[in-house]
Structure 1
Amino acid sequence: MPTARETWEAVKVIAAETLRQHQTVGAFPSTNALSAGSAAAKRVCRDLDQLCSYWAQNGACQAWPSMRERCTLSCGFCTVATG
């Protein structure tokens, strides 16, 4: 039976390979362009998944559109951590 460390290493290998295979198709607009009154600017700035930091470090923010909603803090799609 694999240890937790071995399982975590396998998850990282799979995530890195998935990111490599699905490189950036198009860039998202800068969040600096958001106005303070916009709905997007009023969202809570937080990550919804424990792997967001890892994914962000490996290029997922620009490669996966879902990162815009799941990992706003790690990807830098917002500026203030609250909540």
Structure 2
Amino acid sequence: MFDIIYITWAVHLLSLITSFAWWLYSAIPIYLIYILTKKSLPFLSHMGQNGSETAEPAKSKRQAKLEKRREKFGR
């Protein structure tokens, strides 16, 4: 909350120099969007992986070779 107070003070002080100081207020919603995106992307990426849990995991060459041997010899 103090960040908003500091930005307000900066806007008031800069408004003595220039009339475009109020653009500094745009830092508040930009920062909010940045934080929400940063926190929600990991959650959303886990949501998309739910379907891939049922798929078979990738096999190494050695595992594939051993499976072929088992099928060939019936073990």
For normalisation by structure 1, the TM-score amounts to: 0.29
- Which has the higher Rg, Structure 1 or Structure 2? 2
Q: Which has the higher contact order (CA 8 A, sep 6+)?
A: 1
- Give TM-score scaled by structure 2 length: 0.32
Q: Which has the higher helix share?
A: 2
